[in-house]
């Protein structure tokens, strides 16, 4: 296991002289951490993963594992394990031999090898299948073998996952996600997980790195990203639907919408001239039948009963916003005329950035 340091690391693909696939960044990945790299396609997350694995040599900057410069080393020389989107399994081998493969390659003796393979098989609930040929297994079981092969070596610097659950059905995703999390708690490996799926990223990682257009826009715990997005992109990208941004004005030391003064969690004054909005999550926007502090008038535009939630779309000033309610649809219909913005649950945004 290792600490991974990136120092001023940036990358441009050949031919793209004026644009960075990954803008130069400096960052440390702590030993034993579970990290997710989250962002839409083209945001640079796979480029960053490939720079760490050694599949890509960055255009500039230095990559070190525990202080040792590995920038020029090939993937095989970096002592990392990788799990890809599609299972990579030797069909003709047994499950045991598939799992043992990375250890045999490194000359482990038979007793120690068996113990480790069985330990990993236990965690993944593959113990009963060890003697079966991989060919006979279902897609999700094969992906479990891929995971197991990635996890079997205790001495790897890090295990890198590139969208490992994309091809798995929702029911099995639950099982495999749970397994991954347990493995991290039991084996204390450094894990780095690339995904575009916020649920996977937030449930898997202690620290989530959100990327957009070749840049890291925020690093934080799932709770921080949800409660206090530093950037409108993070507010939008995390959460389903994303954060509401209500256009507002600044007058006499307070944010106002349609003349109503609104308190937010932002303590500072926004820079003058910036486009201002109040960010509030659909989960925290409350609907009310009467005026009151921090309430603005609304018009209900749409109500959707989605079984688990009721989604209510409201017009607030010039903006449209969603409220996500756990109560039945009938509750929302009755005389909604105001929205309450809980002051501690909303913040002021100047252009793209949160005002602290």
Partner 1 sequence: MRLSGISYRAGSELWLRDVDLSLAEGGINVLLGATLAGKTTLLRILAGLDRPSTGSIRKGESDLTGIAVRQRNVAMVYQQFINYPSLTVYENIASPLRVARKPAAHIEARVAQLAATLRLTPFLARYPAELSGGQQQRTALARALAKDAELLLLDEPLINLDYKLREELRAELKQLFADGHTTVVYATTEPLEALQLGGHTTLLAEGRVLQSGPTLEVFRRPATLEAARAFSDPPLNVIPAGMLADSVRIPATRTPASEIVLGIRAHEFSLAGAPGRAALSGKVELAEISGSETFIHLARDDVRLVAQVPGVHDLALNQLCTLYVRPASLYGFDRDGRLLFAPES
Stretch touching partner 1 by CB under 8 A, among 114-122, 128-136, 198-206, 271-279: 198-206
Is residue 196 at the binding interface for partner 1, with CB under 8 A as the rule?
Answer: yes
Residue 122 interacts with partner 1 (CB under 8 A): yes or no: no
127 binds partner 1 (CB under 8 A): no
Region 40-59 residues binding partner 1, contact defined as CB under 8 A = 40-42
Q: Is 162 within 8 Å of 194 (Cβ atoms)?
A: yes
Paired with 323 in beta bridges are: 312
Is 239 a binder of partner 1 (CB under 8 A)? yes
The three-state secondary structure class of 320 is: strand
Determine, following the binding rule CB under 8 A, whether residue 304 of this chain makes contact with partner 1: yes
Examine residue 220 and tell whether it contacts partner 1 (CB under 8 A).
no
Instruction: Kindly state the helix (H) or strand (E) to which residue 215 belongs, with its residue range.
Output: strand 215-220
Per-residue b/e over 83-105, b at no fewer than 16 CB within 10 Å? bebebebeeebbbbbbbbbbbee
How far apart CA 34 and CA 36 sit, in angstroms, is 7
Q: In the complex, what is the shortest distance from the CB of residue 240 to partner 1, in angstroms, rounded to a whole number?
A: 6
280 in Cβ contact with 322 (< 8 Å): no
Backbone angles phi, psi at 158, to 5 degrees: -165, 155
Does residue 307 bind partner 1 (CB under 8 A)?
yes
Alpha helices in the chain (DSSP H): 45-53, 95-104, 110-123, 139-151, 170-187, 198-204, 222-227, 232-237, 329-333
Encoded one letter per residue, x for contact with partner 1 by CB under 8 A and - for no contact, window 167-186 reads: --xxx--x--xx--xx--x-
**Hey, which residues does 5 pair with through a beta bridge?**
28, 64
- From 20-28, 194-202, 247-255, 258-266, span contacting partner 1 (CB under 8 A): 194-202
Closest CB 300 distance from partner 1, rounded Å: 17
Reference 316, options 249, 264, 258, 250; nearest CA is 258
CA distance 150 to 99: 9
Element (H, E) at 279: strand 276-280
Contact pick of 222, 270, 279, 317 for partner 1 (by CB under 8 A): 222
The least distance separating partner 1 from the CB of residue 169, rounded to whole angstroms, comes to: 5
Could you tell me the smallest distance in angstroms from the CB atom of residue 78 to partner 1? Answer: 29
Closest CB to partner 1 among residues 251, 304: 304
* Residue 175 beta carbon to partner 1: minimum distance, rounded to whole angstroms: 9
By CB under 8 A, tell whether 344 contacts partner 1.
Answer: no
Instruction: Say whether 160 sits in a helix, a strand or coil.
Output: strand
CB under 8 A: which stretch of 49-57, 74-82, 303-311, 333-341 binds partner 1? 303-311
Under the binding rule (CB under 8 A), the answer on residue 128 touching partner 1 is no
Q: Which residues bind partner 1 (CB under 8 A)?
A: 40-42, 139, 169-171, 174, 177-178, 181-182, 185, 196-199, 202-204, 222-223, 225-226, 236-242, 281, 283, 304-308, 326, 328
């Amino acid at each position: 296991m290792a600490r991974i340091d990136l120092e001023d690391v940036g990358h441009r693909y050949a031919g793209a002289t004026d644009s960075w696939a990954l803008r130069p960044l400096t960052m440390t990945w702590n030993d034993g951490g579970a990290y997710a790299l989250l962002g839409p396609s083209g945001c640079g997350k796979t480029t960053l993963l490939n720079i760490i694995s050694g599949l890509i040599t960055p255009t500039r900057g230095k990559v070190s594992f525990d202080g040792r410069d590995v920038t020029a080393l090939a993937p095989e020389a970096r002592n990392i394990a990788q799990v890809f989107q599609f299972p990579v399994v030797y069909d003709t081998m047994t499950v045991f031999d598939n799992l043992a493969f990375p250890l045999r390659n490194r000359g482990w003796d038979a007793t120690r090898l068996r113990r480790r393979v069985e330990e990993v098989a236990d965690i993944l609930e593959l113990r009963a299948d060890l003697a079966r040929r991989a060919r006979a297994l279902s897609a999700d079981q094969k992906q479990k073998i891929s995971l197991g092969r990635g996890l079997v070596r205790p001495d790897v610097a890090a295990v890198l996952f590139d969208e490992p659950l994309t091809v798995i059905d929702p029911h099995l995703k639950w099982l495999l996600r749970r397994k991954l999390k347990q493995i991290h708690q039991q084996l204390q490996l450094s894990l780095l997980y690339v995904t575009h799926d916020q649920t996977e990223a937030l449930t898997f990682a202690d620290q989530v790195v959100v990327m957009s257009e070749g840049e890291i826009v925020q690093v934080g715990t799932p709770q921080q990203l949800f409660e206090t997005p530093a950037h409108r992109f993070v507010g939008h990208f995390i959460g389903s639907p994303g954060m509401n941004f209500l256009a507002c004005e600044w007058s006499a030391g307070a944010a106002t919408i349609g003349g109503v003064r609104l308190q937010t969690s932002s303590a500072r004054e926004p820079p003058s001239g910036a486009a201002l909005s109040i960010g509030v999550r659909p989960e925290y926007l409350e609907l009310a039948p009467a005026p009151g502090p921090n309430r603005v008038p609304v018009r209900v535009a749409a109500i959707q009963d989605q079984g688990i939630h009721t989604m209510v779309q409201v017009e607030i000033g010039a903006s449209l916003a969603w409220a996500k309610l756990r109560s039945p649809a009938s509750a929302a219909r009755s005389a909604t005329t105001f929205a309450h913005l809980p002051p501690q649950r909303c913040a002021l945004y100047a252009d793209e950035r949160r005002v602290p």
